[in-house]
Amino acid sequence: MASFGLELAGISLSVLGWLLCVVSCALPMWRVSAFIGANIVTAQVYWEGLWMTCVVQSTGQMQCKVYDSMLALPQDLQAARALTVVSIIVGMVALLISMVAAKCTNCIEEEGVKARVMISSGVAFIAAGMAQLVPVSWSAHTIVIEFYNPIINPGQKMEIGAALYLGTPPVFHVSPYVFTFKAYFQKNNKI
Protein backbone atom coordinates (compact mmCIF):
# COMPACT_ATOMS: atom_id res chain seq x y z
CA MET A 1 0.00 0.00 0.00
CA ALA A 2 2.90 2.36 0.71
CA SER A 3 4.22 1.90 -2.82
CA PHE A 4 0.78 2.83 -4.20
CA GLY A 5 0.91 6.06 -2.18
CA LEU A 6 4.37 6.84 -3.49
CA GLU A 7 3.25 6.06 -7.03
CA LEU A 8 0.21 8.33 -6.69
CA ALA A 9 2.33 11.13 -5.22
CA GLY A 10 4.88 10.73 -8.01
CA ILE A 11 2.29 10.84 -10.76
CA SER A 12 0.52 13.80 -9.13
CA LEU A 13 3.71 15.84 -8.85
CA SER A 14 4.67 14.92 -12.40
CA VAL A 15 1.28 16.08 -13.69
CA LEU A 16 1.74 19.34 -11.76
CA GLY A 17 5.17 19.81 -13.31
CA TRP A 18 3.79 19.06 -16.77
CA LEU A 19 0.96 21.59 -16.30
CA LEU A 20 3.48 24.23 -15.21
CA CYS A 21 5.46 23.53 -18.40
CA VAL A 22 2.32 24.09 -20.47
CA VAL A 23 1.55 27.35 -18.65
CA SER A 24 5.16 28.49 -18.99
CA CYS A 25 5.02 27.82 -22.73
CA ALA A 26 1.82 29.80 -23.18
CA LEU A 27 2.65 32.86 -21.05
CA PRO A 28 4.26 35.82 -22.84
CA MET A 29 6.35 36.72 -19.77
CA TRP A 30 9.72 35.04 -20.30
CA ARG A 31 11.38 38.48 -20.28
CA VAL A 32 9.88 41.63 -18.77
CA SER A 33 11.16 45.19 -18.98
CA ALA A 34 13.39 46.28 -16.11
CA PHE A 35 12.85 49.53 -14.29
CA ILE A 36 16.27 50.78 -13.28
CA GLY A 37 17.99 54.14 -13.07
CA ALA A 38 16.09 56.98 -14.75
CA ASN A 39 13.73 54.40 -16.29
CA ILE A 40 11.63 54.11 -13.11
CA VAL A 41 8.61 56.06 -14.35
CA THR A 42 7.43 54.62 -17.65
CA ALA A 43 4.09 54.36 -19.35
CA GLN A 44 4.72 50.95 -20.87
CA VAL A 45 5.83 47.52 -19.72
CA TYR A 46 7.25 45.10 -22.31
CA TRP A 47 6.82 41.34 -22.12
CA GLU A 48 8.55 38.86 -24.39
CA GLY A 49 7.47 35.24 -24.60
CA LEU A 50 8.02 32.24 -26.82
CA TRP A 51 5.18 33.05 -29.18
CA MET A 52 4.49 36.78 -28.86
CA THR A 53 5.57 40.09 -27.44
CA CYS A 54 3.19 42.29 -25.46
CA VAL A 55 3.10 45.94 -24.42
CA VAL A 56 1.07 46.87 -21.35
CA GLN A 57 0.17 50.55 -21.13
CA SER A 58 -0.13 52.40 -17.82
CA THR A 59 -3.88 52.59 -18.51
CA GLY A 60 -4.08 48.79 -18.33
CA GLN A 61 -4.53 48.32 -22.06
CA MET A 62 -2.47 45.45 -23.45
CA GLN A 63 -1.43 44.85 -27.05
CA CYS A 64 0.18 41.59 -28.08
CA LYS A 65 1.77 40.73 -31.40
CA VAL A 66 2.78 37.28 -32.58
CA TYR A 67 6.35 37.14 -33.84
CA ASP A 68 6.52 37.67 -37.60
CA SER A 69 9.52 35.43 -38.14
CA MET A 70 11.13 32.73 -36.08
CA LEU A 71 14.50 33.97 -37.28
CA ALA A 72 13.82 37.34 -35.63
CA LEU A 73 13.87 35.67 -32.21
CA PRO A 74 17.02 35.51 -30.11
CA GLN A 75 18.78 32.12 -30.09
CA ASP A 76 17.71 31.26 -26.57
CA LEU A 77 14.02 31.79 -27.37
CA GLN A 78 14.30 29.79 -30.60
CA ALA A 79 15.74 26.86 -28.68
CA ALA A 80 13.26 27.39 -25.86
CA ARG A 81 10.35 27.09 -28.28
CA ALA A 82 11.54 23.77 -29.61
CA LEU A 83 12.60 22.24 -26.30
CA THR A 84 9.49 23.39 -24.44
CA VAL A 85 7.22 21.84 -27.06
CA VAL A 86 9.30 18.64 -26.93
CA SER A 87 9.01 18.67 -23.14
CA ILE A 88 5.23 19.02 -23.30
CA ILE A 89 4.86 16.20 -25.84
CA VAL A 90 7.19 13.83 -23.99
CA GLY A 91 5.43 14.68 -20.71
CA MET A 92 2.05 13.85 -22.26
CA VAL A 93 3.35 10.50 -23.51
CA ALA A 94 4.83 9.79 -20.07
CA LEU A 95 1.51 10.65 -18.45
CA LEU A 96 -0.37 8.26 -20.73
CA ILE A 97 2.17 5.50 -20.05
CA SER A 98 1.92 6.05 -16.30
CA MET A 99 -1.88 5.78 -16.46
CA VAL A 100 -1.60 2.44 -18.23
CA ALA A 101 0.95 1.10 -15.74
CA ALA A 102 -0.57 2.46 -12.53
CA LYS A 103 -1.39 -0.03 -9.78
CA CYS A 104 -5.03 1.06 -9.82
CA THR A 105 -5.51 -0.01 -13.47
CA ASN A 106 -5.89 -3.44 -15.04
CA CYS A 107 -4.39 -2.62 -18.44
CA ILE A 108 -1.32 -4.70 -17.62
CA GLU A 109 -1.83 -7.79 -15.47
CA GLU A 110 1.70 -8.98 -14.70
CA GLU A 111 3.41 -7.01 -11.90
CA GLY A 112 6.91 -7.27 -13.37
CA VAL A 113 5.81 -5.89 -16.73
CA LYS A 114 3.74 -3.21 -15.00
CA ALA A 115 6.81 -2.15 -12.99
CA ARG A 116 8.98 -1.93 -16.12
CA VAL A 117 6.36 0.12 -17.96
CA MET A 118 6.08 2.48 -14.97
CA ILE A 119 9.85 2.87 -14.93
CA SER A 120 9.77 3.77 -18.64
CA SER A 121 7.16 6.39 -17.76
CA GLY A 122 9.49 7.74 -15.10
CA VAL A 123 12.37 7.91 -17.56
CA ALA A 124 10.13 9.80 -20.00
CA PHE A 125 9.11 12.25 -17.25
CA ILE A 126 12.78 12.79 -16.40
CA ALA A 127 13.53 13.48 -20.09
CA ALA A 128 10.61 15.93 -20.23
CA GLY A 129 11.89 17.68 -17.13
CA MET A 130 15.39 18.02 -18.54
CA ALA A 131 13.99 19.25 -21.86
CA GLN A 132 12.19 22.03 -19.96
CA LEU A 133 15.04 22.84 -17.59
CA VAL A 134 17.51 23.57 -20.40
CA PRO A 135 15.60 26.44 -22.11
CA VAL A 136 14.52 27.98 -18.82
CA SER A 137 18.09 27.97 -17.50
CA TRP A 138 19.51 29.20 -20.80
CA SER A 139 17.00 32.06 -21.04
CA ALA A 140 17.56 33.07 -17.42
CA HIS A 141 21.32 33.05 -17.98
CA THR A 142 21.00 35.19 -21.11
CA ILE A 143 18.74 37.69 -19.33
CA VAL A 144 21.14 38.04 -16.40
CA ILE A 145 24.18 38.43 -18.68
CA GLU A 146 22.41 41.10 -20.75
CA PHE A 147 21.16 42.86 -17.61
CA TYR A 148 24.71 43.37 -16.31
CA ASN A 149 26.13 44.29 -19.72
CA PRO A 150 27.14 47.98 -19.50
CA ILE A 151 26.84 48.42 -23.27
CA ILE A 152 23.07 47.84 -23.26
CA ASN A 153 20.97 50.96 -22.64
CA PRO A 154 19.22 50.80 -19.20
CA GLY A 155 15.88 51.43 -20.92
CA GLN A 156 16.30 48.24 -22.95
CA LYS A 157 17.28 45.90 -20.14
CA MET A 158 15.00 42.99 -19.32
CA GLU A 159 14.39 40.93 -16.18
CA ILE A 160 13.36 37.33 -15.63
CA GLY A 161 9.61 36.98 -16.12
CA ALA A 162 6.99 34.90 -14.34
CA ALA A 163 6.95 32.22 -17.04
CA LEU A 164 10.55 31.31 -16.26
CA TYR A 165 9.73 30.90 -12.59
CA LEU A 166 6.81 28.63 -13.52
CA GLY A 167 8.99 26.70 -15.95
CA THR A 168 11.63 26.01 -13.33
CA PRO A 169 9.85 23.18 -11.46
CA PRO A 170 10.58 20.34 -13.85
CA VAL A 171 12.04 18.97 -10.66
CA PHE A 172 8.41 17.89 -10.20
CA HIS A 173 8.98 15.63 -13.21
CA VAL A 174 12.20 14.19 -11.84
CA SER A 175 11.96 13.83 -8.06
CA PRO A 176 8.73 11.82 -7.75
CA TYR A 177 10.09 8.98 -9.78
CA VAL A 178 13.01 8.55 -7.45
CA PHE A 179 10.43 7.50 -4.85
CA THR A 180 8.52 5.38 -7.34
CA PHE A 181 11.67 3.57 -8.49
CA LYS A 182 12.66 2.97 -4.90
CA ALA A 183 9.25 1.47 -4.10
CA TYR A 184 9.41 -0.88 -7.10
CA PHE A 185 12.97 -1.94 -6.38
CA GLN A 186 12.19 -2.61 -2.71
CA LYS A 187 8.99 -4.53 -3.26
CA ASN A 188 9.85 -7.77 -5.02
CA ASN A 189 12.93 -7.08 -7.10
CA LYS A 190 10.92 -8.11 -10.18
CA ILE A 191 12.67 -5.66 -12.45
Higher pLDDT, 168 or 38: 168
pLDDT at 1 exceeding the cut of 50: no
Q: Are 159 and 147 within 8 A, CB to CB?
A: yes
Higher pLDDT, 191 or 4: 4
Mean pLDDT score, 94-122: 83
Q: Are 66 and 54 within 8 A, CB to CB?
A: no
Confidence of residue 170 (pLDDT cuts 50, 70, 90): low
Structural domains present in the chain: 2-27+70-156+164-187 (1.20.140.150)
Mean confidence (pLDDT) of the chain = 83
Q: Are 164 and 24 within 8 A, CB to CB?
A: yes
Residue type for 141, please?
A: H
DSSP letter for 43, please.
S
